[in-house]
Amino acid sequence: KWQYDERGRVISIENALNQKVEYFYTELTLENREPIIKGLPLNAFGQLEKIKHADGTEEHFIHDAEGRLLAHVDPKQNITRYEYDEAGLILSRTDALNHKLKYKWDRLGRLTRLINENGASYQFFYDVASRLVKEIDFDGKETVYHYDEKSGQLATSIEVASAYGQDLKDRAAPKDRIQQFIFDSMGRLEQRTAGYGHYGLELEEKQTEEFAYDYMGRIIQA
């Protein structure tokens, strides 16, 4: 269950176990505030500043004046920092262990590759309409995306079965993990079905999730 404030920002999400995650945003104030991390700016009015989890732990976020995330402090106080290029595209993410993830973009501003601290690559491929059609992760596992011919919306994603991909234990033969998506007339995700099998055939071990929205188009239930 999702709840929003008068500005349309999510302020809490509660699951079926009544565990609530709360979201806090920077308020407009004349009081002097101390930066969360020395040397980094204060968040501007309205920016996401804190997430409080059901167990009481907190995450903190520091943004620049343009709203770009500069640093994230996790519940264990580990700090992850972000760098950007002149166009505002993210260049790198460095975690508390000084592991750096580099981002590569093409001339159309599409993310094409992630390079981790070991030099391994995560690749992204697009069609002529700039829709994501395939990903190859750091372990070489492929995920393929198909789109509806009429609406152009995402219809199916396929995580191709592989020895180092999904867990194949207790299955007689490798099968792809497939997700099928249904959108409403306003382009909002209405239903997602996940299971195992092969593209175009009936799925096994199916699980379906449905989504509901309020009159403003904000998700309220899943």
CB 102 within 8 A of CB 119: no
Return the percentage of the chain with pLDDT > 90, whole number.
69
| Same-domain status, 8 and 79 | yes
- Please report whether residue 133 resides in a domain: no
Residue 165 has what pLDDT?
A: 46
Residue 143 has what pLDDT?
A: 94
pLDDT 10s digits, 51-76: 999 999 999 999 988 889 999 999 99
Residue 71 has what pLDDT?
A: 96
| Same-domain status, 5 and 94 | yes
In whole angstroms, give the CA distance from residue 144 to residue 160. 8
Residue 161 has what pLDDT?
A: 82
pLDDT 10s digits, 17-51: 999 999 999 887 656 677 778 878 888 888 999 99
Neighbours of 71 (CB within 10 A): 17
In whole angstroms, give the CA distance from residue 9 to residue 3. 8
pLDDT 10s digits, 171-220: 445 789 999 999 998 999 999 999 999 888 888 899 999 999 998 888 98
pLDDT 10s digits, 122-151: 999 999 999 999 999 999 899 999 999 999
Last residue of a domain, one of 98, 129, 156: 98
- Please report whether residue 123 resides in a domain: no
Q: What is the mean pLDDT of the chain?
A: 90
- Please report whether residue 110 resides in a domain: no
- Please report whether residue 106 resides in a domain: no
| Same-domain status, 65 and 148 | no
CB 197 within 8 A of CB 210: no
pTM attached to this predicted model: 0.80
198 closest CA partner among 176, 173, 172, 165: 176
Q: What total of structural domains would you count in the chain?
A: 2
| Same-domain status, 57 and 147 | no
| Same-domain status, 86 and 159 | no
Question: Tell me, what amino acid is at 135?
Answer: E
| Same-domain status, 12 and 88 | yes
In whole angstroms, give the CA distance from residue 52 to residue 6. 20
Element of type H or E holding 77: none
Counting other chains too, the contacts that 47-51 makes at CB distance below 8 Å and 24 or more residues apart are: 48/23, 48/24, 49/24, 49/25, 50/23, 50/24, 51/21, 51/22, 51/23, 51/24
Q: For residue 147, what are the domain limits?
A: 141-222
Length of the chain: 222
| Same-domain status, 156 and 79 | no
| Same-domain status, 91 and 146 | no
- Please report whether residue 45 resides in a domain: yes
| Same-domain status, 217 and 154 | yes
pLDDT 10s digits, 156-175: 999 998 654 455 555 445 78
Whole-number Cα distances in Å, 182 to 135, 143, 202, 216: 21, 19, 16, 20
